[in-house]
Amino acid sequence: MEVLMPEPQIYVERTLAIIKPDIIDKEEEIEDIILRSGFHIIQKRKLQLSPEQCSNFYAEQFGKVFFPNLTAYMSSGPIVAMVLARNSAVSYWKELLGPSNSLRARITHAHSLRALYGTDELRNGLHGSLSISSAEKEIRFLFPEAILEPIPTGQRARDYLKLYVKPTLLAGLTALCKEKPADPL
């Protein structure tokens, strides 16, 4: 009887997470929640942005009434920026964050990070990318040395596995079978 295995699929997305200045002391606690939620922290750095850098980062918010307060708040102290990866990272991170208004989050999403760590709409504790394209742009902004190659999906992922992974595994397993070591590791 032949067991049919599903075709391996590679669905890994990256998103940007920022721990904002007022809750930087909760960094370890928040990272623990992130890791327990199935994310991998690919890159991480602690930095302090200037008001000009904050203005550039939040350029799409320019002209809105809260923009000056947002840039002042985000440049008021150090932040922790992280590149998170997992399947559907952007949507899962947004779900874990909850609504941007922390007061609303406490009512509608009581277990979300913003409900737990935020204080109001502006000081909501954490940032998350809104889409895959904004995540790529934001990651490039805060991690300029990062190489963001497109992650293969569908046929491209199957081709990659067939061309690179399967031959390597086959060669390794063949060598292992020929040697038959007492302790294979």
Residues marked as catalytic? 127
DSSP string across 122-181: S--SEEE-SSHHHHHHHHHHH-TT---PPPP-HHHHHHHIIIIIHHHHHHHHHHHHHH--
Task: Please say whether the beta carbons of 76 and 30 come within 8 A.
Answer: no
84 closest CA partner among 8, 144, 154, 12: 12
- Show contacts of 164-170: CB within 8 Å, 24+ apart: none
Distance from C-alpha of 59 to C-alpha of 135, rounded to nearest angstrom: 14
Q: Reduce the DSSP state of residue 82 to 3 states and report it.
A: strand
Q: At what angle do helices 89-97 and 132-142 cross, to 10 degrees?
A: 80
81 closest CA partner among 146, 37, 153, 160: 146
